[in-house]
Amino acid sequence: MEPYRKNFQPIIPEAIQDIGRVVFEKKHECTIDSEIGALFPHLVPCSVLKGASATREHVEKKPLRVGVVFSGGPAPGGHSVIAGLFDCIKKWHADSSLIGFLNGPKGLLRNICKELSQIDVDSVRNTGGFSLLGSGRTKIEAQEDIQKVIDTVKAQNLDALAVIGGDDSNTDAAFFAEAFLQQGIRTCVIGLPKTIDGDLQSDDIPISFGFDTACKVYSEIIGNIGRDVSSAKKYYSFIRLMGRVASHITLECALQTHPNLALISEEAAQQELTLKALVVKIADLVEERAKSRIHYGLILVPEGLVEHLVDMKHLIAELNEFFAPTHPLASLLVACSKPGERLDFVLDHISERSSACLALFPRHIAEQLLQERDPHGNVQVSRIETERLLAGLVEAEIHLRSQKAGKEIPFVAQTGFCGYEGRSAFPSIFDCTYCYALGRLAGIFAIQKMTGFMAGFARLHESFASWEPLAVPLVSLLHFERRKGAKKAVIQRVLVDLQGKPFSLFKNQCASWRLTDSYQQPGPMQFWGPEELTLPPCLTIRLGQG
């Protein structure tokens, strides 16, 4: 398979086929919060720009030196971004150079890099993962760290720096662009939208790359499990899916596979569900199906569900503040080293409401909530086995109902997690094409010395050739959040729109899936064959755009 994938030639949108003829004009002005604007005086006011192929004045073609870095977890299509960027600057001038920083932002801080050759790039075309350069989650936010980045781009004499990452990485890119302009550094900064979670989007960025592929990989697995539970007819399968903040992946996979129940975090938050109420909701489903002598089912659980339940949200917010270095008891908490000691300490010092919620948890799950925070000071929800938590609590609820009814309600649970196997898969035809186009557009930004923009395309539901290139100001995506107990400007992660077309379709259909075996088995991604199997993006993109 791999040799064939490397030879795949993605279609290039017509607007960026001739890189020397692309012109940008204002699409619409951006409204920027005054506090955000004060942090970025060199980048505001700003507008979203749209590109088209037209006649441009002749520009002398000089070699470019462009740096590129992967930041955060892998997403299918990253290598295609690099291929598109490499081909673009080499087409502009054969002596142009693409400098890859190794192991993510750490390589950028330490100036650890390599110049990428044609052989390097050709070896990874259309393949998954970030293995060409490696990646990392090092945060660059302190002024001394930004100065190290400035020293690196000056040492490498870069015309541009392309940051391939998610919301936090592109937040860093916005601060780089502002700092470079403040100090008169000629290096322009370009953001590229990467995350399989699909929560890096806006009115002008329809979707991040990798989402399409990951959803298709997970849907194949879920479809197989759905067929298995309807074959064995004896267990409920609880499948946890990636998506800490938003449930875009769970929603898309539900639309593709038709589970009996798909929990959407945003809907749970809107309904102000508690953990107990959610358990009752799932147990009701089990009892309803049991009345029809159906003792099996398929349930999808988003990774970040616990953060959206009203009692859990309060608990986690209190714990995050508790773990912040500024909390008066933080040092005593860190000193707790014996098994269970940290949990007992926290139970004694948090509010009665939060203590009651935490006490519902099995101790091993409760202790997962108390693990070290991520670099932003938040609970690492990927380490919380939400599917096991729910399966265990539902089992206990069904046992109580069986005792009350005087007859057994059969319930056997199995659990699974669709996670890392979706991050480095062979990218779909859509993601190959999207990512190559994003890389080519980033190269055009470098040629035209455009800084502080994220590369994007409109009309992704249409034919590849008709996609419209966009330059979206990074600052237009920022808002304020609390991180480690402080207010910080970061790119906003977009939640599932409960009024949008994808969720509306889901709500119209999910009731019919509840008590029937409507499971769909999408099967593996197709790279060859009829266009209706190989080319279309996932339903979320088609419904959201079309």
Which tens digit of pLDDT belongs to each residue from 402-439? 999 999 999 999 999 999 999 999 999 999 999 999 99
Mean pLDDT value of segment 276-288: 97
Mean pLDDT value of segment 224-250: 96
Instruction: Find out whether 76 and 423 touch, Cβ atoms under 8 Å.
Output: yes
Tokens at 541, concatenated: 């993109």
Instruction: Find out whether 413 and 394 touch, Cβ atoms under 8 Å.
Output: yes
CA distances from 163 to 187, 325, 485 (A): 13, 30, 27
Q: What is the pLDDT of residues 193-226, one digit of tens each?
A: 999 999 999 999 999 999 999 999 999 999 999 9
Mean pLDDT value of segment 446-466: 97
Identify which has the larger pLDDT, 334 or 17.
Answer: 17
Instruction: Find out whether 439 and 171 touch, Cβ atoms under 8 Å.
Output: no
Q: How many of the other CB atoms lie within 10 Å of CB of 414?
A: 17
- Is beta strand 188-193 parallel, antiparallel or unpaired with respect to 453-458? parallel
Write the DSSP symbol of residue 496.
P
Q: How many Å apart are CA 63 and CA 223, to the nearest integer?
A: 50
Distance of CA 320 to the CA centre of its chain: 22
Tokens at 480, concatenated: 């304020």
pLDDT recorded at residue 544: 76
Mean pLDDT value of segment 306-318: 85
- Is beta strand 97-101 parallel, antiparallel or unpaired with respect to 478-483? unpaired
Distance of CA 516 to the CA centre of its chain: 32
Tokens 């302009």 appear where?
181
3-class SS of residue 439 = helix
Backbone angles phi, psi at 492, to 5 degrees: -75, 130
Tokens 């539900």 appear where?
254
Mean confidence (pLDDT) of the chain? 93
3-class SS of residue 141 = coil
pLDDT recorded at residue 316: 80
Q: How many Å apart are CA 298 and CA 115, to the nearest integer?
A: 48
pLDDT recorded at residue 518: 96
Q: How many Å apart are CA 159 and CA 101, to the nearest integer?
A: 15
Instruction: Find out whether 125 and 80 touch, Cβ atoms under 8 Å.
Output: yes
Mean pLDDT value of segment 444-453: 98
Residue 339: band (very low, low, confident or very high) from pLDDT cuts 50, 70, 90: low
Mean pLDDT value of segment 11-26: 96
Spelled out in words, what is the top-level CATH class assigned to the domain 224-422+500-545?
alpha beta
Identify which has the larger pLDDT, 3 or 131.
Answer: 131
Sequence ranges of the domains in the chain:
2-30+64-210+427-483, 224-422+500-545
- Amino acid symbol at 382: S
3-class SS of residue 499 = coil
Q: What is the pLDDT of residues 497-511, one digit of tens each?
A: 999 999 999 999 999
Residue 260 neighbours by CB under 8 Å, 6+ apart: 285, 289, 297, 298, 299, 513, 514, 515
Instruction: Find out whether 240 and 387 touch, Cβ atoms under 8 Å.
Output: yes
pLDDT recorded at residue 139: 87
Burial 114-140 (b: 16+ CB within 10 A, else e): eebeeebbeebbbbbbbebbbbbbbbb
Q: How many Å apart are CA 48 and CA 476, to the nearest integer?
A: 9
pLDDT recorded at residue 50: 98
Residue 113 has pLDDT above 80, yes or no: yes
Residue 89: band (very low, low, confident or very high) from pLDDT cuts 50, 70, 90: very high
Mean pLDDT value of segment 55-67: 88
Instruction: Find out whether 115 and 146 touch, Cβ atoms under 8 Å.
Output: no
Residue 485: band (very low, low, confident or very high) from pLDDT cuts 50, 70, 90: low
pLDDT recorded at residue 546: 61
pLDDT recorded at residue 258: 98
Tokens at 316, concatenated: 């986690």
CA distances from 414 to 25, 238, 244, 421 (A): 54, 6, 22, 19
Choose which CATH entry (2.30.29.30, 3.40.50.300, 3.40.50.450, 3.40.225.10) describes domain 2-30+64-210+427-483.
3.40.50.450
- Amino acid symbol at 194: K
Identify which has the larger pLDDT, 351 or 121.
Answer: 121
CA distances from 343 to 163, 290, 316, 323, 337 (A): 39, 37, 14, 13, 11
Q: What is the pLDDT of residues 344-400, one digit of tens each?
A: 888 888 888 888 888 877 777 777 777 766 665 566 666 778 999 999 999 999 999
Active site residues: 197
Residue 513 has pLDDT above 70, yes or no: yes
Q: How many Å apart are CA 325 and CA 461, to the nearest integer?
A: 46
**Does 2-30+64-210+427-483 match 224-422+500-545 in CATH topology?**
yes
- Is beta strand 453-458 parallel, antiparallel or unpaired with respect to 413-418? unpaired
Residue 184 neighbours by CB under 8 Å, 6+ apart: none
Distinct helix (H) and strand (E) counts, the chain: 21, 15
Instruction: Find out whether 476 and 491 touch, Cβ atoms under 8 Å.
Output: no
